[in-house]
């Protein structure tokens, strides 16, 4: 059976959940539907007319992007305007568009971690904490013959994520006893006859944000009309998340060598550097936040960073940065295009794990609006 778009996004959401996005960030499905078969999925940083043309040419069914295409409300949808015609083209060719924005910045093994990996920055921590999510535990009792089906359904709903592992669970077998009354419609047994069944107790943990979908998946997979289950709040586990990263180079390097490394790593024709009035001779502690992270420069300063790397620094903010004594490097917003190949590598890993019949593509279109002359 061919994979549905909703099935792919369900797996994507386990890795990069929508609830991790910052408040007001319009992540998720923007155009089309996920309730359809998908054969070809493409990853892009942006949705631009040239990207849409590429998607049409490659017969793409689902376009996954970092930057939401409808970031601000669209007042008119006319095909005379090239900016809005691309939306009509996507709909005409049945290409769904799904966006993961700040949640991709925040997740572990996400964009900011990939930046640190590329720059050889180690021992990283969050630059700014954003979320603390408490964990819960579900314990559900099912006939032993349905235990495997239940574990798989819970894993697909996002339960059992623990550190670098997914689909974790614990199972213990025992005897379940019950007596149906006259109004019951039992899967096993008869009315008013005591029954006992060899059952499995399956325990899984999940973030409190996923309780509705986990319980819904459990009820759908359960053979009984009255499932027995318990949900516990866990006080010993919590998941912390944050945006941006700060960490250490293995050895201090000269300021100019580090600037050159940033330029080389991200294949830049040029970048902007804000030198403090008293320039540091060496760089050891590095803070980075992809995209437009100028508002976090004081957090980088508080983290004792020697350098802060972020994009789209405003002129007057640059003046304020210059007074701090911290070097700031603005390599531009487009370095986020690193996500394209990294995400497709992950998609192909999931394809092998799940035995999906689908092809993934890295968009070959550059959406960088800037050139250096």
Dump the DSSP string for 25-94.
---EEEES-SSSB-SEEEEES---HHHHHHHHHTT-SEEEESS-S-SS--S---TTSHHHHHHHHHHHTT
For residue 166, CA distances in Å to 110, 346, 350, 356 come to 17, 14, 12, 18
* pLDDT for the residue 107: 95
- Backbone φ and ψ of 286, nearest 5°: -120, 130
- Mean pLDDT value across residues 305-320: 97
Is the C-alpha dihedral spanning 121, 122, 126, 127 positive or negative? negative
Residues 208-233: pLDDT tens digits?
988 999 999 999 999 998 999 999 99
Residue 163 has pLDDT above 70, yes or no: yes
Q: Using an 8 Å Cβ cutoff, are 191 and 181 in contact?
A: yes
Compare 71 and 148 and report the one with higher pLDDT. Answer: 148
- Band of the pLDDT at 74, cuts 50, 70, 90? confident
* pLDDT for the residue 206: 93
Please enumerate in sequence order all residues whose Cβ is within 8 A of that of 221, keeping only pairs 6 or more positions apart, or say none: 146, 149, 150, 153, 154
* pLDDT for the residue 96: 98
* pLDDT for the residue 289: 98
- Mean pLDDT value across residues 340-351: 97
* pLDDT for the residue 1: 60
- Band of the pLDDT at 44, cuts 50, 70, 90? very high
Residue 176 has pLDDT above 80, yes or no: yes
- Architecture category of domain 106-130+242-335 in CATH: 3-Layer(aba) Sandwich (3.40)
CATH number of 132-239: 3.30.70.120
CA atoms of 27 and 24, how far apart (whole Å): 9
Residue 239 has pLDDT above 90, yes or no: no
Minimum mean pLDDT among 136-140, 145-149, 189-193, 354-358: which range? Answer: 189-193
Residue 294 has pLDDT above 80, yes or no: yes
Residue range 5-103+337-362 in CATH 3.40.1390.30:
yes
Residue 102 has pLDDT above 80, yes or no: yes
- Mean pLDDT value across residues 307-317: 97
CB-facing half-sphere around the CA of 333: CA atoms within 13 A? 17
Indicate the domain borders of the chain: 5-103+337-362, 106-130+242-335, 132-239
* Strand-pair partners of 42: 63, 361
SS3 assignment for 262-291 = HHHHCCCCCCEEECCCCCCCEEEEEEEECC
Answer yes or no: same fold for 5-103+337-362 and 106-130+242-335.
Answer: yes
* pLDDT for the residue 272: 97
């Amino acid at each position: 059976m061919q994979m549905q778009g909703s099935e792919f996004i369900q797996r994507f959401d386990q890795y990069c959940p929508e609830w991790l996005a910052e408040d007001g960030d319009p992540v998720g499905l923007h155009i089309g539907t996920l309730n359809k078969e998908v054969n070809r999925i493409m990853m892009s940083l942006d949705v631009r007319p040239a990207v849409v043309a590429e998607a049409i040419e490659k017969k793409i069914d689902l376009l996954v992007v970092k930057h939401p295409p409808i970031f601000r409300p669209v007042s008119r949808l006319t095909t005379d305007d090239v900016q809005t015609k691309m939306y009509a083209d996507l709909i005409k060719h049945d290409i769904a568009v799904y966006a993961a924005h700040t949640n991709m910045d925040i997740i572990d093994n996400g964009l900011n971690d990939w930046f640190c990996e590329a720059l050889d920055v180690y021992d990283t921590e969050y630059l700014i904490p954003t979320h603390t999510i408490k964990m819960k535990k579900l314990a559900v009792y099912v006939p032993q013959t349905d235990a495997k089906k239940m574990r798989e359904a819970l894993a697909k709903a996002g339960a059992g994520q623990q550190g670098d592992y997914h689909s974790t669970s614990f199972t213990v077998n025992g005897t379940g006893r019950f007596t149906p009354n006259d109004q019951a419609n039992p899967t096993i047994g008869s009315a008013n006859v005591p029954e006992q069944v060899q059952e499995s107790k399956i325990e899984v943990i999940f973030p409190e944000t996923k309780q509705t979908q986990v319980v819904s998946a459990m009820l759908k997979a359960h053979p009984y009309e009255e499932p027995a289950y318990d949900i516990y709040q866990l006080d010993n586990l919590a998941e912390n998340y944050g945006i941006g990263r700060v960490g250490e180079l293995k050895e201090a390097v000269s300021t100019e060598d580090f600037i050159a490394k940033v330029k080389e790593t991200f294949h830049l024709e040029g970048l902007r550097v804000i030198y403090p009035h008293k320039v540091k001779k060496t760089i050891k502690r590095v803070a980075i936040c992809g995209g437009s992270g100028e508002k976090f420069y004081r957090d980088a300063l508080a983290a004792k960073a020697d350098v802060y790397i972020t994009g789209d620094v405003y002129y007057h903010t640059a003046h304020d940065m210059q007074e701090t004594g911290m070097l700031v490097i603005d390599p531009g917003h487009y370095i986020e295009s690193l996500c394209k190949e990294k995400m497709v590598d992950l998609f192909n890993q999931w394809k092998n794990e799940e035995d999906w019949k689908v092809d993934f593509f890295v968009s070959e279109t550059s959406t960088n609006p800037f050139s250096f002359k």
